[in-house]
Amino acid sequence: MNRWKLSRERALARLRDLKFAFRDYVDSQFGFRAKDCGTCQTPCCADAEFVNVNITRLEGEAILRVLGDTARFSAKDRVRILDRAARTVETLGLESAIDTFATTYACPLFEPGTGCLVHSEAKPAPCIHHGCYEAPEHLPDEASRIEVERTVAELNREVYGADESQWGYLTIPVWMTRLTRHRRVECESADAD
Ligand code: SF4
Ligand code: SF4
C-alpha cells in the first residue's frame, strides 16, 4: 500500500499550477507597476545580506527538475550551479542554522546576465510576490502570498508526511544540496544492486 496520500508527481503538477496562477495574479494586478528586474544594477537575489527565502522539500524537488532539463542546462552548467549551492551552504554554515528564516544568503539560482534560473517553472512564492514598487499601496497583498505558502506546505505534507523538522521549510541552497546528495545515494544503491 502506498504510504503517501498524494504521489510526488501529482503534487509537483499541482505545485506548478499553483505557482503559475500566483504569478499571473501578481503580474496582472501589481507587477506592471514594479521596477524592471531585467535592468536592475543591484539585484536583490545576489545580495548575501538580503535573501532569506525558505522552501519545502517539494519545491526543492521542483527546482532540481528544472536544473535536470538537459535541453536547458548542460551537465557542466548543472554541476556549476549545484557547486555554487554547496559552497553557499558550507561558507555560511546553513545546515546548522537554528533559525533558517533569520539567515541570509546570495541565491545560487541567480545567474548574472540571466536572472532567476527557475523563474518560469519553480520560483518560490515569496520571490513571485517580491518586487520594487514606488509606493507601499502598489505592493501585492500579503494575504495572497500567505495563502499560496499555506497550500505549498499542505502539498508538501501530503507527500512527505507531517515531520516538518525533516521535510519542511529550509533555505534554497540547503534543499538543493540535500536532494542532490540524496539522489547520488539512490543512484549508488541502484548501481550496487
Ligand atoms: S526586486 Fe528590485 S532589487 Fe530585486 S532584482 Fe528586481 S528590481 Fe532589483
Ligand atoms: S529563487 Fe530566483 S527569484 Fe528567488 S532568490 Fe533565488 S534567484 Fe532570486
Model pLDDT, residue 16: 97
Q: Among residues 125, 180, 179, which one has the least CA distance to residue 153?
A: 125
Q: What is the pLDDT of residue 53?
A: 97
Q: Is 60 exceeded by the pLDDT of residue 29?
A: yes
Instruction: Kindly tell me if the per-residue pLDDT of 79 is higher than 70.
Output: yes
Atom of ligand 2 nearest to the CA of 63: 1
pLDDT band at 163 (very low <50, low <70, confident <90, very high): confident
Residue identifier of the C-alpha nearest atom 1 of ligand 1:
131
Containing 64, the helix (H) or strand (E) segment is helix 57-67
Nearest one of 94, 93, 68, 92 to 81, comparing CA atoms: 68
Closest ligand (CA of 34): 1
Mean confidence (pLDDT) of the chain: 93
Model's pTM, two decimal places?
A: 0.92
Q: Is the pLDDT score of 1 beyond 50? A: no
Residue 51, phi then psi, degrees to nearest 5: -70, 125
Q: Which atom of ligand 1 is nearest to the CA of 41?
A: 8
Residue position matching grid coordinates 534560473: 117
Helix (H, G, I), strand (E, B) or coil at 105: strand
Nearest CA to ligand 1 atom 2: 132
